[in-house]
C-alpha cells in the first residue's frame, strides 16, 4: 500500500505551482513512495552501538596554539613611518572630500 497518495501529490503540486497531469500524479506518487521507503530503510540501519559522527574519519586540529607575544608600542610602530601625525600614520589623501 503506497504511503503517498495521488491527493497528496496533487496538493504538493498546487503548493509548488506545478501543472501535473493525471498520469503524472500516479507516476510521482509511486516515485515518492519509493523515496520514502528508501529513507525509512536508511533510518533502520543506524544502530544504538554506533555513535553519531560528522566525518567518516577522525579529524585532529593541525593549528598551533595561540601564544600571547608582546607587540610594538605606538611609538615603535610610528618610528619607521615616512610620516606621522597625532599618533597615527599620515598617508596621502585619495579622496577629494574634506573629513
- Indicate the pLDDT class of residue 12, thresholds 50, 70 and 90: very high
Q: What is the pLDDT of residues 27-46, one digit of tens each?
A: 999 999 999 998 888 777 76
Q: Does domain 6-45 have CATH number 1.10.20?
A: yes
**45 with 69: CB under 8 angstroms?**
no
pTM: 0.44
13 — pLDDT class (breaks 50, 70, 90): very high
Q: What angle do CA 59, 63, 50 make, to 5 degrees?
A: 15
- Per-residue pLDDT, averaged over 14-28, amounts to 94
Amino acid at each position: 500500500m503506497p504511503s503517498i497518495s495521488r491527493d497528496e501529490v496533487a496538493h504538493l503540486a498546487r503548493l509548488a505551482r506545478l501543472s501535473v497531469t493525471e498520469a503524472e500524479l500516479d507516476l510521482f506518487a509511486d516515485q515518492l513512495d519509493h523515496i520514502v521507503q528508501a529513507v525509512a530503510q536508511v533510518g533502520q540501519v543506524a544502530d544504538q552501538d554506533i555513535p553519531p559522527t560528522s566525518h567518516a574519519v577522525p579529524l585532529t586540529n593541525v593549528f598551533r596554539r595561540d601564544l600571547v607575544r608582546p607587540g610594538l608600542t605606538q611609538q615603535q610602530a610610528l618610528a619607521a613611518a615616512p610620516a606621522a601625525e597625532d599618533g597615527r600614520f599620515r598617508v596621502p589623501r585619495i579622496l577629494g572630500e574634506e573629513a
